[in-house]
Amino acid sequence: MSKMWSGRFKESASELLDRFNASIPFDQKLYKEDITGSIAHATMLAENGILSESDAKQIIQALTTVKEEIESGEFEFKISDEDIHMAIESRITAIIGDVGKRLHTARSRNDQVATDFRLYVQNKSQSLSEQILYLQKVLLELAKKHTETLIPGMTHLQHAQPTNFAYHLLAYISMFKRDYERLQSSIERNSTSPLGCAALAGTPHNINRDRTSELLGFREPTLNCLDTVSDRDFALEILFNISTLFVHISRFAEELIIWSSYEFQFVKFSDAYSTGSSIMPQKKNPDVAELLRAKSGRVNGNLISLLTVMKGLPLAYNKDMQEDKEGVFDSVETAEVSLEILTKSIETLTVNVDKMEKACKIGHLTATDLADYLVKYCNIPFREAHFITGEAVARADELNIDLSEIELSELQKIDSRIEADVLPLLSLRNSMNSRISKGGTATAETKNQIKYVENWLESL
Amino acid sequence: MSKMWSGRFKESASELLDRFNASIPFDQKLYKEDITGSIAHATMLAENGILSESDAKQIIQALTTVKEEIESGEFEFKISDEDIHMAIESRITAIIGDVGKRLHTARSRNDQVATDFRLYVQNKSQSLSEQILYLQKVLLELAKKHTETLIPGMTHLQHAQPTNFAYHLLAYISMFKRDYERLQSSIERNSTSPLGCAALAGTPHNINRDRTSELLGFREPTLNCLDTVSDRDFALEILFNISTLFVHISRFAEELIIWSSYEFQFVKFSDAYSTGSSIMPQKKNPDVAELLRAKSGRVNGNLISLLTVMKGLPLAYNKDMQEDKEGVFDSVETAEVSLEILTKSIETLTVNVDKMEKACKIGHLTATDLADYLVKYCNIPFREAHFITGEAVARADELNIDLSEIELSELQKIDSRIEADVLPLLSLRNSMNSRISKGGTATAETKNQIKYVENWLESL
Amino acid sequence: MSKMWSGRFKESASELLDRFNASIPFDQKLYKEDITGSIAHATMLAENGILSESDAKQIIQALTTVKEEIESGEFEFKISDEDIHMAIESRITAIIGDVGKRLHTARSRNDQVATDFRLYVQNKSQSLSEQILYLQKVLLELAKKHTETLIPGMTHLQHAQPTNFAYHLLAYISMFKRDYERLQSSIERNSTSPLGCAALAGTPHNINRDRTSELLGFREPTLNCLDTVSDRDFALEILFNISTLFVHISRFAEELIIWSSYEFQFVKFSDAYSTGSSIMPQKKNPDVAELLRAKSGRVNGNLISLLTVMKGLPLAYNKDMQEDKEGVFDSVETAEVSLEILTKSIETLTVNVDKMEKACKIGHLTATDLADYLVKYCNIPFREAHFITGEAVARADELNIDLSEIELSELQKIDSRIEADVLPLLSLRNSMNSRISKGGTATAETKNQIKYVENWLESL
Amino acid sequence: MSKMWSGRFKESASELLDRFNASIPFDQKLYKEDITGSIAHATMLAENGILSESDAKQIIQALTTVKEEIESGEFEFKISDEDIHMAIESRITAIIGDVGKRLHTARSRNDQVATDFRLYVQNKSQSLSEQILYLQKVLLELAKKHTETLIPGMTHLQHAQPTNFAYHLLAYISMFKRDYERLQSSIERNSTSPLGCAALAGTPHNINRDRTSELLGFREPTLNCLDTVSDRDFALEILFNISTLFVHISRFAEELIIWSSYEFQFVKFSDAYSTGSSIMPQKKNPDVAELLRAKSGRVNGNLISLLTVMKGLPLAYNKDMQEDKEGVFDSVETAEVSLEILTKSIETLTVNVDKMEKACKIGHLTATDLADYLVKYCNIPFREAHFITGEAVARADELNIDLSEIELSELQKIDSRIEADVLPLLSLRNSMNSRISKGGTATAETKNQIKYVENWLESL
């Protein structure tokens, strides 16, 4: 056994440790935030006389150069640099010599990484917010075309009441509105600057944390340095916000998958957003929607990972916290591409109005309207009304028609108190339009909801 | 095999189904919210002429009676009633006859359960917020006594720099402040009334959702009924808020456990909040802190459960959503008792100032201060300063003392440029007090942080 | 604020602590295992001369009495007894006096709880295994009736190839077979006795752990006492086994829900296992299946909870481990009732053979058979065969028929090389029966699979 | 807003879809398994006359070439190939022309990916098993040196009883033994071949699944093709096995971190497996142990992800299942590097015997031995013995010594019945050696445990 094994240990201890410890393979994503943070820091140090003007100028110049090098692909990331902070510091020192090392005065890697990561999370929370707004606009455009398109409202995947397709889309618009609000709320709450907290206790240098906070676009500096270098709440928040976003995306995806089945055929994905089969030209696999549904598992995993990592950690920084980034990067990038592809899928979706409306004729969706009529207009007690309705539904089944298609004479055979004024109430469209309460499915009320969202979008 | 098995199926199909389907064993917790919601509904129905004044009066009277019956323990919960809504409706109908059934006009169980559950979550978010504020006050009182108590600031569970105990407590105060803010933000965001959304599509009745929203203390009615009866975001939010709270509680608990060990002895739990051993009088098991730490697992489980349940559910209500409550109840009750017991534990905690201060003398916590001195006052380059410091530390080790206790002559043997003005800088207390940057550990700055929190608490 | 709060602290510190610390509200479920373990322990102590014969006799008698008291409901569980172990010990001491205290010689609460909990998990793993076997028998009975019932095999919820319903059920039988095997494997692996490990280090008493292991039905005593009192792997295993079981149950439930929709109508739940609506007699909500699907979230939450609790705990026993039981109890009881109700639902399920077979005629399920024919019998290259098939499918669409219903003349218009021998291949039933490879869908091969399972069941 | 957004959509729909859908960026890890599977398939096809001997030879030759190309780094992975299966098939067709396409006869991507992934999981389960065995050997070597090294056995992080360090290590050896057994059990259970199951229904071709199963080293073919292409139990099992492994690794890591603190100083990591500080030479951060502890979160996340993805998926293949691989790859690679680095860390760990033994003198670890003496030799009732012991402990505290160091005269002052024979019992080493029960901490019994493990390792 040991021989079999010995082959595995070819790398040296330090190579192995580098591979295990180094975060540069993933934290290089933070290069932009790291350079932004360093420029703010150098600016403040110079303003406060901790760094000479000329040193600060050289340092900022070098940081700008490094940024260009990274973005042009020239920059070489080395595992031995361990993390992005060291990689950039090494490089500016290579460019401008020992002056470069002065940049690290009055800060430590602990507050630096907290600043970079927080800037990343704030920026991504904002860009995801904007993607959500764009998705809502696309949904709104589609909704405006379908305020009169009947679709069976379902509970338990069983037909329940007639609604309209715009109304259905507005449910998702409402969910995504909350996702937007959650992201914005997190941005506001976490708009505090860690820079200057140093290792865990602050610094004896005469720094100005309000100034770096301002330069970095934060509302104010954090309150307590020990907390600041130990805190990853902002990372947990974006992970949760994305998990909740995917609850909604996965529900939408599930509906799109079911609606794409042969049995439903309510919608058809464009060729660009589904995959076909060369041999069965009519077959379209809703791969995109299935992946969107599945991504929910992935982002939930990332959330539970960080919650588990942070549980029970003593203050302040522990190396465990290096496990904070990969999950956040993965959830963010999953959300970015998923919102993009969901938006595009909706933009190019074919809505099969005929199939939707035809489906409303299955399941006697206006049975409750008949019962309501009996109570309201014939003054029949509730229980009896239910019984009569049951008989009417049974009769419709015998006739192999939907209750919305039954003739007056049939109804009157069941109960002679029923009159001609019942018929309009049994129509699917009338039924849908009768639900005029706030938030209801009537076309007019649906249009109110659209207006509400439009006003809200304009107000942003 | 089948014989062995057959014994299991003694209960009838309907008993089995009742046991599986019924939510009344747990949703009876919602009785208060259910009655509050019903009273608001009846009031509005009467105002809008859907219910006669006298019917409304009778119904409201009966609801009040039922509430008293439940609170006095007279009320009998029956599994056959299935859920709390039916149980209360049955009872008021038993009291006032068929009039009771009119209460259900223009609503459905779907919006009713959404209303009850949301009211519960809003109320509990508020009471948990208040418990957090009280905990913060207790922590603040303790902090005020210890702004000069030295304690080793640690990273990686290794001594790093001298800080003070108040400063350490302020880290937790800061965490709990964010927990408070998250709960308040959720309350504000979810302050929308589901009542009147009915099954999924609104209602044809001329109801006034703004009125019931106002009566129930919500900001406004929800936008879209289909979304409303399908939405459990508010439940996910409280679960996440509690999970994050327990990240902080578990970290505090871990520190308290470590600090209670024989090796540390920084704190001592009062007898009331630890368990002892009759035979080892000095032994105190920090059971409470251990349970507080462990509860993190429980609340994370509840969060992941609901995220999993909601994933991929088609609109609108599906029976799956009945699985939403038990986890929320459990997390809420876990948070309630945990905050209570954590608060009491802190109130009665003995802080061992001597042990904390003595611990600061291990690990040469002022080594960085020496290096800083060499750079700043002796104009020695950084690398050389590090090397000299290394030698001084090694010498202190040889002498079996801490660097803060070294004599000037020893230092001068290592480097003659060192002068007497170094000594105050090597003192632990001076080192702690030197970190005067905003958020830093200097006693004066620590007091600023206390002031900041006090102002904030007063402003609420 | 503090006034508002003060109302909350009505209970005394000790009441609060009892409520927080005590496990008796849930661990009373272990009474049977606790008594069984104690009887084995007393028996061994007497055999080894540590307890006198008469003391042992008295103790065992008292334990038997307590068991009867508990099962008859006479026994009063008091929160002040803290846990089931103390409750039982107190009671036997009340019955037989100080002799009762001798039972605790050479054991501690740590090994006692490990023994009780392990016995519980072993017993429940066995009874769940038996429930799974019974479910498989019920599925097998249903399968035997449907080896020739066509049903569209799907991928991506899109029709793909004709299969038979027995074949589909065999997929679930195979899954449940693995669930059975996992439970049995865990039983075997964890069949080691913790009894006699005492607090964490063993005991100086001359005990015989092999004997108690034998009396309790374990294979052998555990190897190392420190590990034994710290180990909850067996609990994690049953949680995982149940989570995996619910992956399968939730998939089956999802299919049953979709199959119950108006659009599919493949199956109909019996009235006893669905809920209806008095007003829409044809409506049946598949509540049971929805709850079965949702329970997946619950059991996953329990798994993640315990994984989180156990992470990073130093040896040996920590109070955190008291959080091990509730989740296991909940997952076990969820699995018990779910298997019971799933089994009953299947036993009473109506299979709509017509709808299943009719659905096969949608989607040109034999398109691949036509392509295969062209390659195999007409020697046409693969790509060309695909192209021709595409044309045939398009023609069928024009004619508004399924490819399985096309006439020879239509095919020959597309390609004259096609001859009459193609027609049988395009028949749905022939297509299903053509897949004769091991594990395939041909009726004959399906019957082989049934036989395989029957043999396996008999071999147990 | 829309303008801001428009910049994001630079890539074409198909590029976006490729990026979202393609699995080749991660499933290229399966190249070896894919080629192995294809060679077995081609071999069987030729044996059964479905492929000519010469075609099979060419195909196998080409597959071997492709493998070499991949391993030498020549092979270019293109996103447009979508997955590793297509990438390899395209390449062999490029090498040998249309003959290459015949390889795909009688199989589909669904059974191919199931085969590749299962082979990967089986192989990795075996190599992880071997890493675990090697780790156990290293632990066993260390244990053999420390069967007489005293260390305080703890509960609640409080000193409880004296044990020895070998005994403590044997607890971890026992845990890792169960991890090994779980992996082996999974390998055995999942040793069934998916190859030949085709899309979901088997194939009409006259294939021999037993033969490919044998060629690939599986026990037998799977039972039912529909289940086979839908099944990811084997992936869930390895994820769970790794999560449980990390429960143990994280516990060990936690202890190593605590033991490395200044307060404990039981162990010291070698420089190669810790990180230091140039300025504080005595400081060693246990980074490696912290990362090992944290990885628990990561692997738990992967487990919950796949459980969530698989929940409620209808049969058979859905694109959701493409999300199965990344988490498994990540958990496997995390386990590989973690086991490697843990093993190396242990091999190079310095054990501070003095500190461990000295620590035993804190906490009066032999108090229970005194109580036992009073009961056993002085015939004093249990309660009174406890009381006397309490007084003795209090006296030792006054004298500022440990109970193990107390003089006989002091004890006799407390109770004159105590005689000289008590002293050896109060010695820490004697106390440890007194626990001779099976699995106990006595050195002799510890050696038995070592022997047991050695025999077990030899038996493999």
For residue range A415-442, what is the model confidence (pLDDT) as tens digits? 999 999 999 999 999 999 999 999 999 9
- Out of B29-38, B65-74, B282-291, pick the least confident: B282-291
Q: Give dist(CA B138, CA B380) in Å, integer.
A: 47
Contact C156 A286 (CB under 8 A): yes
Q: What is the pLDDT of residue B8?
A: 37
CB A138 within 8 A of CB A346: yes
- Percentage of chain C with pLDDT > 90? 83
Q: Which two tokens stand for residue A219?
A: 């509302």
Cis peptide before B143 (omega within 30 of 0): no
- Out of A81-85, B114-118, B224-228, pick the least confident: A81-85
* Run of H or E including D436: none
pLDDT-derived band at A274 (thresholds 50, 70, 90) equals: confident
Sign of CA dihedral C126, C132, C136, C142: positive
Q: What is the pLDDT of residue B4?
A: 35
pLDDT-derived band at C8 (thresholds 50, 70, 90) equals: very low
A159 is catalytic: no
∠ CA A204-A209-A212, nearest 5°, is 130
Give the CA dihedral B334, B340, B341, B344, nearest 10 degrees.
170
Q: Say which residue the tokens 């002429």 belong to.
A: B49
* Mean pLDDT value across residues D136-147: 98
Residue to mutate among D44, D226, D427, with most C CBs inside 10 A, is: D226
Strand ranges inside A56-195, DSSP E: 150-155, 158-164, 192-193
Q: Residue B7: pLDDT above 90?
A: no
* Mean pLDDT value across residues B111-138: 98
Q: What is the pLDDT of residue B366?
A: 92
Interface residue C293 vs chain D (CB under 8 A): yes
CA distances for B268 relative to B261, B283, B353, B355, D12, angstroms: 9, 10, 11, 11, 65
Q: In chain D, whose CA is at the least distance from the CA of B286?
A: D156
B360 Cβ contact list (under 8 Å, min separation 6): B150, B151, B152, B159, B162, B404, B428
Q: Residue D170: pLDDT above 70?
A: yes
DSSP label at A152?
A: E
Q: Say which residue the tokens 């009291």 belong to.
A: B95
* Mean pLDDT value across residues B434-454: 97
Q: Find the distance separating the first CA and the last CA of chain C, reported in whole Å.
A: 66
- Which subunits sit against A, judged by 3+ Cβ pairs under 8 A? B, C, D
- Contacts within 8 Å (CB) and 24+ apart, C449-455: C449/C167, C449/C170, C449/D223, C449/D224, C450/C140, C450/C143, C450/C144, C450/C147, C450/C166, C450/C170, C452/D223, C453/C136, C453/C140, C453/C170, C453/C173, C453/C177, C453/D223, C454/C140
Q: Which two tokens stand for residue A117?
A: 């990561």
* Mean pLDDT value across residues B176-204: 97
Number of other residues whose CB lies within 10 A of the CB of residue B400: 7
Q: In chain D, whose CA is at the least distance from the CA of A347?
A: D13
Q: Which two tokens stand for residue C326?
A: 């509730």
Q: What is the pLDDT of residue A14?
A: 72
* Window B:106-125, CB contacts with A under 8 Å: 106, 110
Q: Give dist(CA D176, CA D179) in Å, integer.
A: 5
Which of the pair, C276 or D78, is modelled with greater confidence?
D78
Q: Residue B112: pLDDT above 80?
A: yes
Helices (H), B103-150: 109-145
* Window C:10-29, CB contacts with A under 8 Å: none
Q: Give dist(CA D34, CA B74) in Å, integer.
A: 69
B183 Cβ contact list (under 8 Å, min separation 6): B125, B126, B128, B129, B132, B238, B241
Model confidence pLDDT, tens digit, residues B288-322: 999 999 999 999 999 999 999 999 999 989 999 99
Contact A251 B300 (CB under 8 A): no
Q: Give dist(CA A66, CA A94) in Å, integer.
A: 11
Q: What type of residue is A121?
A: V
Q: Give dist(CA A189, CA B182) in Å, integer.
A: 8
Contact B314 A157 (CB under 8 A): yes
A308 Cβ contact list (under 8 Å, min separation 6): B300, C307, C308, C311, D296, D297, D300, D301
Q: Residue C116: pLDDT above 60?
A: yes
Q: What is the pLDDT of residue A11?
A: 58
Interface residue A48 vs chain C (CB under 8 A): no
* Window B:438-457, CB contacts with A under 8 Å: 438-442, 445, 449, 452-453
Q: Say which residue the tokens 């995306």 belong to.
A: A249
Model confidence pLDDT, tens digit, residues C130-165: 999 999 999 999 999 999 999 999 999 999 999 999
Which letter, b or e, does each residue of A315-337 get, where b requires 16 or more Cβ atoms within 10 Å of its Cβ? bbbbbbbbbbbbbbbbbbebbbb
pLDDT-derived band at B277 (thresholds 50, 70, 90) equals: low
Model confidence pLDDT, tens digit, residues D240-275: 999 999 999 999 999 999 999 999 999 999 988 888
Q: Which two tokens stand for residue B9?
A: 């199926």
pLDDT-derived band at C376 (thresholds 50, 70, 90) equals: confident
- Mapped onto helix, strand or coil, the DSSP state of residue A379 is coil
Q: What is the pLDDT of residue C5?
A: 34
pLDDT-derived band at A9 (thresholds 50, 70, 90) equals: very low
Q: What is the pLDDT of residue A132?
A: 98
Q: What is the pLDDT of residue B282?
A: 60
Which of the pair, C191 or B375, is modelled with greater confidence?
C191
Instruction: Tell me which chain D residues have a C-beta less than 8 angstroms from the C-beta of A340.
Output: 8-9, 16
Model confidence pLDDT, tens digit, residues A302-353: 999 999 999 999 998 999 999 999 999 999 999 999 999 999 999 999 999 9
pLDDT-derived band at D3 (thresholds 50, 70, 90) equals: very low
- Out of A315-319, A451-455, C5-9, D74-78, pick the least confident: C5-9
* Window B:65-84, CB contacts with A under 8 Å: none
Q: Give dist(CA A131, CA A127) in Å, integer.
A: 6
Q: Give dist(CA B230, CA D184) in Å, integer.
A: 45
Q: What is the pLDDT of residue A6?
A: 36
Q: What is the DSSP string of B347-376?
A: HTPEE-HHHHHHHTTTTTTTHHHHHHHHHH
Model confidence pLDDT, tens digit, residues A81-99: 889 999 999 999 999 998 9
* Mean pLDDT value across residues C429-455: 97
Q: Give dist(CA C267, CA C272) in Å, integer.
A: 15
D156 is catalytic: yes
∠ CA D433-D437-D443, nearest 5°, is 30
Model confidence pLDDT, tens digit, residues C439-449: 999 999 999 99
Contact D316 C154 (CB under 8 A): yes
- Percentage of chain B with pLDDT > 90? 83
Model confidence pLDDT, tens digit, residues A193-204: 999 999 999 999
- Mapped onto helix, strand or coil, the DSSP state of residue D51 is coil
Chain length of chain B? 460
- Out of A10-19, A116-125, B228-237, D363-372, pick the least confident: A10-19
Contact D222 C161 (CB under 8 A): no
Helices (H), B146-232: 165-189, 209-215, 225-230
Which of the pair, A174 or B394, is modelled with greater confidence?
A174
Model confidence pLDDT, tens digit, residues D70-109: 999 999 999 888 899 999 999 999 999 989 988 988 999 9
C11 Cβ contact list (under 8 Å, min separation 6): C19
pTM of the predicted model as reported, rounded to 2 decimal places: 0.96
pLDDT-derived band at A279 (thresholds 50, 70, 90) equals: low
Instruction: Tell me which chain C residues have a C-beta less than 8 angstroms from the C-beta of D146.
Output: none
* Nearest chain C CA: its distance from A57 CA (Å): 48
Instruction: Tell me which chain C residues have a C-beta less than 8 angstroms from the C-beta of B138.
Output: none
Residue to mutate among D223, D237, D238, D248, with most C CBs inside 10 A, is: D223
Q: Say which residue the tokens 């709850």 belong to.
A: C291
Q: Exactly one of C72, C156, C278, C416 is catalytic; which is it?
A: C156
CA distances for B451 relative to A223, B136, B144, B171, angstroms: 11, 13, 10, 14
Number of other residues whose CB lies within 10 A of the CB of residue A229: 27
A407 Cβ contact list (under 8 Å, min separation 6): none
Model confidence pLDDT, tens digit, residues A205-249: 999 999 999 999 999 999 999 999 999 999 999 999 999 999 999
Interface residue B280 vs chain D (CB under 8 A): yes
Q: What is the pLDDT of residue B278?
A: 54
Instruction: Tell me which chain C residues have a C-beta less than 8 angstroms from the C-beta of A312.
Output: 312
- Mapped onto helix, strand or coil, the DSSP state of residue A157 is coil
pLDDT-derived band at B381 (thresholds 50, 70, 90) equals: confident
Q: Give dist(CA D293, CA D300) in Å, integer.
A: 12
Contact D261 B262 (CB under 8 A): no
Give the CA dihedral A149, A155, A157, A161, nearest 10 degrees.
-40
DSSP label at B158?
A: E
Q: Which two tokens stand for residue A70?
A: 């990274």
Q: Which two tokens stand for residue A142?
A: 């589609």
Sign of CA dihedral A180, A183, A189, A190: negative
